[in-house]
Chain A
Amino acid sequence: MLMLLISSIIGGVLAGGLCGVVGAICNRLKLTTMAFSMAHAALAGSALALALGADIISLAMLLAIVTAMILGPLADHLRIPIDLASMTLFSLYNALAFIFIISAPGPALMIESVGQLLWGSILAIRPTYIAYLLLASMIVLSLLIIFWGKISSILFDIRLAEAEGVNVKAYKYAMLVIAGMTVTLALRMTGGFLVFSLLYVPAAASLQLQANMKGIIAASWIFGSASASMGLLMSFLYDLPAGSCITIAALIILLAASAYSRLRASLAAGRRA
């Protein structure tokens, strides 16, 4: 029991931090809806794996990454904005996910694994899962540190970075692959419908602090970690769905960050008066 609690806190810290930082960067690059459809691709992939009895993580990740690759060309082909293409695929993936879930062996919607798919579970946090998370966190952190100069140029103004010779396409695709990887991993914990609470609520909270870009990214990492580990603890203590608890924890942090920033602003105004 205690082992499960400790490993879920560790898993939460890692997955939450990863999601926080990836969410903050995706938000800057206006890839929010793209990440949205990638998450649901991962959900459909997990459901398909469930129906076929295949490995969940690899199938989910495959579908998420394929989605990232085809979204741009699909939007061009249909002559629609990429956001609309994302939402179109999002609907398709949800439709498929339900079909796969129904066709999964065993009594549909009853089995533990379906619940895990939809709203997450701390039971998903096993040693291999933690190893994956650790590896992914290390990859993201080292890429950020090594290429920060170029990444910041892209985050400031992607078109200007392109005009200065940065291979923005390569960075964008790398980012999408990382987002796909992150979402797939986090999905096991939060479930398919609530993974966004970890991608975007910590990013929103970090923006409250009005810090510089490095500060925003660091704060997203910390807020994501805190949301996930607090949520998992809640889930453990009260036996509630992990995804729901993580979302509530993330929202509490957002409210606290917003209150802090307002308090700080009014104190500063008071000092000036």
Chain B
Amino acid sequence: MEKGLEQNAVELDSVSTYYYGEKRPALRDVTLRIPVGSLALIVGPNGAGKTTLLETILGLLKPRSGRIKVLGYNIPAEASKARALSSYLPQDFMKPPIEPFTAREVVAMGLASSSFSGRLLESGWKKVDRALELLGMMDHADKPFGKLSGGQQQKVLLARAIVREPKLLLLDEPFSAIDLETRSYIVGEIFPGLLRGGCTILLVSHDLDYSSMDADLVIRVVDGRVSQVIMRDAHATH
């Protein structure tokens, strides 16, 4: 059944994605509906296709077949419009110690990426500092990104994702380096605020105990297929 744009943040219809030169698809015939304002967990073993799914949604990987709509925009044709409204926290985020940009500069890039010239006004820098504050990274704001610990780097990138006030937040293993206390603060305080504001969150994790999370749906990816969608909410239909 076709849904209105206002109801689904992400729609995939029979989408298959192949990596360059590969004969086996990394995603095969995936059909998915993710309602606006929901928290969707994407789970599955290593190599299942979770990262591929996120990057296909953003149009970073081009599907060979199928139809994708993100926030009402066709992917990949209108990907840049959908991307401007989305934030992405990649799985492999670590930078070497020589990385010279400071934590504050890295967060500011989140705003720069989707403004015309990338120049930030006073209000932009205030938002940047608020996002750093939220993740408890204010004390490290002027340190070079590469000289932060893995967990600190991940927090800075999470701040960069949040400062964009996204309509769609794609998080690939966002807790892989983050301690338990911060993790429960993010899940218990930051996520609910974003969801209330109408943001849709897609969170990839292979090891998360998702009963602890207040997820609206759980998408299980196995061998490139979406094998299961558990809906918590009755009105969100597959």
Query: Which residues from chain A sit less than 8 Å from chain B, CB to CB?
Result: 79, 146-153, 155-157, 159-167, 207, 210-213, 215-216
Contact = CB atoms under 8 A, between A and B. Distances in A.
Given A163-B88, A216-B100, A150 B21 contact: no
Contact of A147 (B99, B109, B118): B118
Contacts of B58: 163
| Interface of A: prevailing SS | helix
A153 B113 contact: yes
Interface in B59-106: 60, 80-81, 83-84, 86-88, 90, 95, 98-102, 105-106
Contacts of A148: 118-119
A160 B86 CA distance: 11
B5 interface: no
A153 B98 contact: no
Given A150-B113, A213-B101, A216-B100, A165 B119 contact: no
Nearest to A215: B100
Contacts of A79: 21
A213 B228 CA distance: 46
Given A150-B118, A160-B88, A165 B80 contact: yes
A212 B118 contact: no
A130 B150 CA distance: 48
B187 interface: no
Contacts of B119: 146, 148-149
B83 A164 contact: yes
B31 interface: no
A210 B146 CA distance: 12
B52 interface: no
B87 A164 contact: yes
B101 A149 contact: no
A153 B100 contact: no
A163 B99 CA distance: 20
B112 A150 contact: yes
A213 B120 contact: no
Given A152-B112, A153-B113, A156-B101, A163 B83 contact: yes
A59 B78 CA distance: 38
Which one of A149, A151, A157, A161 has the highest number of Cβ atoms from chain B below 10 Å of its Cβ? A149
Interface in B107-157: 108-115, 117-120, 144-145
Given A149-B120, A153-B112, A207-B98, 14 more contacts: A147-B117, A147-B118, A148-B119, A149-B118, A152-B109, A152-B112, A156-B99, A156-B105, A159-B90, A161-B109, A164-B114, A165-B113, A211-B100, A212-B105
Contacts of A215: 100
Nearest to B105: A152
Contacts of A152: 101, 105, 109, 112, 118
Nearest to B54: A163
Given A149-B118, A160-B88, A212 B101 contact: yes
A12 to B, nearest CB: 27
Given A146-B117, A149-B120, A151-B118, A164 B100 contact: no
